[in-house]
Chains A and B, each alone.
Chain A
Amino acid sequence: MGQNEPVPSLLLIEDDDAIRTALELSLTRQGHRVATAASGEDGLKLLREQRPDLIVLDVMLPGIDGFEVCRRIRRTDQLPIILLTARSDDIDVVVGLESGADDYVVKPVQGRVLDARIRAVLRRGERESNDSATFGNVVIDRAAMTVTKNGEDLQLTPTELRLLLELSRRPGQALSRQQLLRLVWEHDYLGDSRLVDACVQRLRAKVEDVPSSPTLIRTVRGVGYRLDAPQ
């Protein structure tokens, strides 16, 4: 991370005082600006006031829970959300990913791991090349980091955009979920394939004409996903 880069600002929504204080301490030491909120309602208010770069959101909150906060944010905003969940392999994760989260970490989480995830998510919005690609009526402008469909701008989260970019870089080639997890999420070999599936679903809902019968982002059974130009 270069010296000139702006310090990313985070919003941490967590109801437990000890966890909130500890994570704030840890993330601040990793070089983030951290604002905190103790409930979903406070968090949504702070979000409007401060415009953070990323939200770290606890799932179990008093009042409106993390999933609902996530859904409300997604209605208007595409900024990245990382869920703090108590359980790794049950329905929490699936519901969280369906409500629009970009990534999740499981408690108890090490500050370094959370920091790495945060930086990986933030990197997804960075531009890297200046060309563009066209797939049917969808145009991906890598310079402006925008995607248009029939001339209209599509609202994509950085993760959805990065997934589309990685797929579009290798048109017609099937990428496994593990490959996509490394390329997009920068996860190690144990990445959760449900992240990919959930993100593909969300992307299809925005990009495809008929999301239930995709023509662009195809599933390749036993392998993963492939981006095809329509015939």
Chain B
Amino acid sequence: MTEGQQEQHAHRGRLSGWSAARRAVSSGLRFTSLRLRLVVVFGLVALTAAVSASGIAYWLNREAVLTRAQDAALADFEREMQNHASTLPVHPTEDQLAMAARQMTDGGRLFSVLLIAEDADGRPVQASAGTSALDGFTVQDVPASLRKAVAKKQPITSNNEHAYHLYWQRVIDEDQPYLVGGAKVIGGGPTGYMLKSLEPEAKDLNSLAWSLGIATGLALIGAALLAQAAATTVLKPVHRLGIAARRLGEGKLDTRLRVSGTDELADLSRTFNRAAESLEKKVDDMSAREEASRRFVADMSHELRTPLTAITAVTEVLEDELEAETGSLDPMIEPAVRLVVSETRRLNDLVENLMEVTRFDAGTARLVLDDVDIADQITACIDARAWLDAVELDAERGIMARLDPRRLDVILANLIGNALKHGGSPVRVVVREEDSALVIEVQDNGPGIPEEVLPHVFDRFYKASASRPRSEGSGLGLSIALENAHIHGGGITAANSPKGGAVFTLRLPRDASPLIAEEQGNGTEENGG
């Protein structure tokens, strides 16, 4: 069952993957783009208009052309029937019929004639004549319905003076349009049929249809071009707006749009400008406030430093008194003097760290690079703080790096000092090279760092628990160590070793000089004192 579920999951995964792929493709083609939609809409409008206009024009024309042609032909036919067929005897011979038919079609008539009558013996006779193209006009060519209508005798009423009428019908034979007309001579006589080809008219109409079709096509192309132009006029401002929005998003808050016209897009541009303006103002306000508070901390540290300098210089005088063997100090005063001396040192460290932090925050911290032997630096750092007995150093001499030795010392002193304070000795320091990076690990033997504290070890003034007694450090040490690593283009990570104890891993580039080159150019600083 679990297997089945897994399969289902896998299947669904594939499906969603496939649809995602399809989305990507469709967004690539941009079927939903505004430009395409405009073109399609314009095209549809143009198509509808052109098709209905040309359709109506075509049908009106067609009717007019056909009616005129057929009226002329039928009038001719009727006249010829009057002139020739009605003069025939009631029972003409075949020759007489043929003669009459020839006479009817003489004189450049464009139709064929078929005359049908009964001869004296009651046998049907017929004769036809006409243009060579329409030879062989027989009664079979005449539709039965027409024959019936022609032969039908109408009752004579006040509205209808004649018993027989002229009828006509359009037929299509072998894809050729024809007009067939028929009439019976009143008072007994032959029945006459005429057949006229409508091909010339059809040709005219065809070419008309073609021209209308071409006109429609041209209209469509014109519509597409217009749609493109319209899309461009609409989309250009939209495109500009998009670019401006992107610039704004990249933090260029002075981005503004040029507003022209009074349309909706101009309104949108104005709205955008107002939004950008208020955003810029807000950000300016915020950065001004931040700058003010940063300046306050920097100024305060500086102000603290002046009295502290005096106190520090005098504290040494007190220290000398403490160290003097003569015991010149009043035993009641001595603890007070000791407290002043030690707390002055603490205050010194705190102010020093605060200054360091404000320098990092203000971005005025600078690297002073030198080529140093890492093992020598670490040994000197440990030695200077009398930690030689508590620290095991695993580093080969001769690993050279180009970095700021003071800042490396600050990092090492904070990491090793922290390890000694919280982990206890022996602290193990391992140096190794990884490609162009230098890795220094500081491992202690303590209980390690609680999981919930681990993400906060580099936070300023972070205390693991409120109940913990105040620490001897300033609460800025690890934060400053991290900043010092960052300014070198490196970093520090904190973790717990599987063997127990905390491990801080410092990673620095072997050569930090490219960073200095980058920093050049924005190196202006204010002096303080």
A→B interface (CB under 8 Å): 16, 18-19, 21-23, 25-26, 29, 58-60, 86-92, 107-112, 176-178, 188-190, 192-194, 222-224
Q: Contacts A21-B310, A26-B317, A190-B405 known; list 12 others, CB within 8 Å.
A: A19-B306, A22-B309, A22-B310, A26-B314, A58-B529, A60-B528, A87-B528, A91-B527, A107-B308, A110-B312, A111-B316, A190-B380
Cα distance A190–B351 when bound, in Å? 20
Bitwise interface map of B from 307 to 345 toward A, beta carbon under 8 Å scored 1, else 0 = 111111110110010000000000000000000000000
Closest to B308 in A: A108
Closest to A84 in B: B309
From B314, B316, B405, residue with most partner A Cβ within 10 Å? B316
Whether B364 pairs with A59 at a CB distance below 8 angstroms is: no
A222-B406 contact, Cβ under 8 Å, with A26-B316, A92-B527: no
Please measure, in the bound complex, the distance between the C-alpha atom of A87 and the C-alpha atom of B301, giving whole angstroms.
11
Assess the A89–B317 pair: CB atoms within 8 A.
Answer: no
Contact assessment for B317 and A25 in the assembled complex, using a CB-CB cutoff below 8 Å:
yes
Neighbouring A residues of B366 by C-beta, 8 Å: 89-90
State in angstroms the CA–CA spacing of A158 and B351 once bound together: 34
10 interchain pairs (CB within 8 A)? Answer: A18-B307, A22-B309, A26-B313, A26-B317, A87-B359, A89-B368, A90-B366, A176-B371, A188-B380, A189-B376
Is residue B409 within 8 Å, beta carbon to beta carbon, of the partner chain? Answer: yes
- CB of A109 within 8 A of CB of B309, answer yes
Q: B384 near A: Cβ within 8 Å? A: yes
Q: A70 to chain B: closest CB distance in Å? A: 15
Q: Contact partner of A90 among B316, B359, B369, B406, CB < 8 A?
A: B359
Asked if B270 is at the interface (CB within 8 A of a chain A CB), the reply is: no
Contacts of A189 in B (CB 8 A): 376-377, 380-381, 384, 405, 409
Task: Tell me the nearest residue of chain B to A92, going by C-beta.
Answer: B527
Q: Is A108 touching B309 in the complex (CB atoms < 8 A)?
A: yes
- B359 CB to closest chain A CB, in angstroms? 7
Q: Is the pair B370, A109 in contact by a Cβ cutoff of 8 Å?
A: no
Which residue of chain A has the shortest Cβ distance to B379 in the bound complex?
A189
The docked-state distance in angstroms from the alpha carbon of A89 to that of B131 is 117
Using Cβ atoms and an 8 Å threshold, which residues of chain A touch B307?
A: 18
B62 beta carbon closer than 8 Å to chain A: no
B235 within 8 A of A: no
Known: A22-B311, A108-B312. A188 touches B348 (CB 8 A): no
A23 / chain B contacts, CB cutoff of 8 Å: 310, 313
Alpha-carbon separation in the docked complex, A200 to B302 (Å): 32
Give A87 to B358 CA distance when docked, in angstroms: 12
Distance in angstroms between the alpha carbons of A18 and B307 in the assembled complex: 7
- Nearest CB on B from A142, distance (A): 29
Chain B residue contacts of A18, Cβ below 8 A: 306-307, 310
Contact B348 A108 (CB under 8 A): yes
Taking a contact as CB atoms under 8 Å apart, the answer to whether A177 and B368 are in contact is no
Interface residue B355 (Cβ < 8 Å from any Cβ of A): yes
Nearest residue (CB) in B for A191 is: B405
Q: In the complex, what residues of A have CB within 8 A of residue B405's CB?
A: 178, 189-190, 193
B430 CB-CB contact with A under 8 Å: no
State the Cβ distance, B338 to closest chain A Cβ, in Å.
17
A165-B524 Cα distance, complex, nearest whole Å:
36
Residues of chain A contacted by B302 (CB below 8 angstroms) = 86
> At the interface, yes or no: B434 with Cβ under 8 Å from chain A?
no
User: Could you tell me if A86 and B348 are in contact, using CB atoms closer than 8 angstroms?
Assistant: no
B525: which of A22, A86, A88, A90 is its contact (CB, 8 Å)? A90
CA distance A75 to B314 in the complex (A): 35
In the assembly, what is the distance between CA of A90 and CA of B365, in Å? 7
Residues of B within 8 A of A109 (CB): 309, 312-313
Q: Is the CB of A86 within 8 A of B316?
A: no
Q: Is B305 an interface residue (CB 8 A)?
A: yes
Q: What's the minimum C-beta distance from B350 to chain A, rounded to whole angstroms?
A: 12
Q: Closest B-chain residue to A189, C-beta based?
A: B380
**Residues of chain A contacted by B376 (CB below 8 angstroms):** 189
- Of the residues A60, A112, A194, contact of B368 by C-beta under 8 Å: A194
B376-395 residues at the A interface, CB under 8 angstroms = 376-377, 380-381, 384
CB of B320 within 8 A of CB of A86, answer no
Name, among B309, B312, B313, the residue most crowded by chain A CB atoms within 10 Å (CB to CB): B313
Contact present for B365 and A89 (CB under 8 Å): yes
B266 at the A/B interface (Cβ < 8 Å)? Answer: no
On whether the beta carbons of B316 and A110 are closer than 8 Å, the reply is yes
User: Is B527 a contact partner of A60 (Cβ separation < 8 A)?
Assistant: yes
Shortest A69–chain B CB gap in Å is 14
Nearest residue (CB) in B for A114 is: B313
Neighbouring B residues of A190 by C-beta, 8 Å: 380, 405-406, 409
Would you call B384 and A110 a contact (CB within 8 A)?
no
A222 adjacent to B384 (CB under 8 Å) = no
Residues of A within 8 A of B370 (CB): 177-178, 193
Q: Which residues of chain B come closer than 8 Å to A86, judged between CB atoms?
A: 302, 305, 528-529
Contact at A112–B316, with CB atoms within 8 Å?
yes
Q: Please provide the 9 A-B residue pairs with the shortest distance between their CB atoms, ordered closest to farther.
A: A60-B529, A189-B380, A18-B310, A22-B313, A108-B309, A22-B310, A193-B370, A108-B312, A107-B309
Whether B241 sits at the interface, judged by CB under 8 Å, is no
Say if the beta carbon of B494 comes within 8 Å of chain A. no
Residues of B contacting A176 with CB < 8 Å? 371
What are the interface flags for B175-190 relative to A under an 8 Å C-beta threshold, 1 for contact and 0 otherwise?
0000000000000000
A29 touches B310 (CB 8 A): no
Within 8 Å CB of B308, what residues of A? 107-108
Q: How far is the CA of A16 from the CA of B527 in the complex (A)?
A: 17
* Complex alpha-carbon distance, A192 and B366, angstroms: 13
- Given the interface pairs A107-B305, A189-B377, the reply to whether A178 lies near B372 with Cβ below 8 Å is yes
